[in-house]
Amino acid sequence: MGDRLHFQQGDIHQLTLSEPADLIAMNRALHHVWEKDTASLFAWLHANLKPGGLVAIWEPAWPADRTALRDPSRRGMAFQNLSEHIQGNHFLQPAEIQTAFEQAGMDAKTYTFMQGNEAVIIARRPTH
Ligand SMILES: C[S@@+](CC[C@H](N)C(=O)[O-])C[C@H]1O[C@@H](n2cnc3c(N)ncnc32)[C@H](O)[C@@H]1O
């Protein structure tokens, strides 16, 4: 795929892509860049995709109901969120990610796995 893939490195808040992307994949990175200006970030994702292009987000799925954190399968996520707060971040609920895409004019669908503790959100820039 060497002739079809290329990589650019930079701060997403400053980055200008050389051309619109077919796919933007962010693996456990969205919660690092969410706080600064969420609306601008999602406008950036929309603007830097080709029409019909996709964003794939993989994030820990922070539960809407905090009592769910008492489940043994969520203890690791609960503990890690403490260190995220120290860095100025926090884990996100899949629904808030999906809503942010919809507010940016993109269709989004959420898929959860690992007992609901991991979420992949796929969003598409409309073709029109
Ligand atoms: C938890 S790591 C995930 C790394 C990798 N995607 C993985 O799954 O192993 C979070 C990543 O977000 C990146 N990141 C944080 N702030 C960023 C920013 N402003 N622009 C671009 N990337 C950023 C960090 O460099 C780091 O690689």
Half-sphere exposure of 111 (CA within 13 A, CB side): 7
**Which of 14, 15, 28 has the most ligand 1 atoms within 8 A of CB, as the residue to mutate?**
28
Q: Say which DSSP state 39 is in.
A: H
* Res 115 pLDDT > 90: yes
pLDDT at 128 over 90: no
pLDDT of residue 84: 96
Domains of the chain, with CATH numbers? Answer: 21-124 (3.40.50.150)
3 C-alpha to ligand 1 centroid (Å): 25
Residue 36 Cβ contacting ligand 1 at under 6 Å: no
pLDDT tens-place string over residues 14-38: 998 989 999 999 999 999 999 888 9
Structure pTM?
0.94
The per-residue pLDDT for 36 is 80
What is the per-residue pLDDT across 59-102, written as a single tens digit (0 to 9) for each? Answer: 999 999 999 999 999 999 999 999 999 999 999 999 999 999 99
How far is the centre of ligand 1, averaged over its atoms, from the C-alpha of 32 (Å)? 7
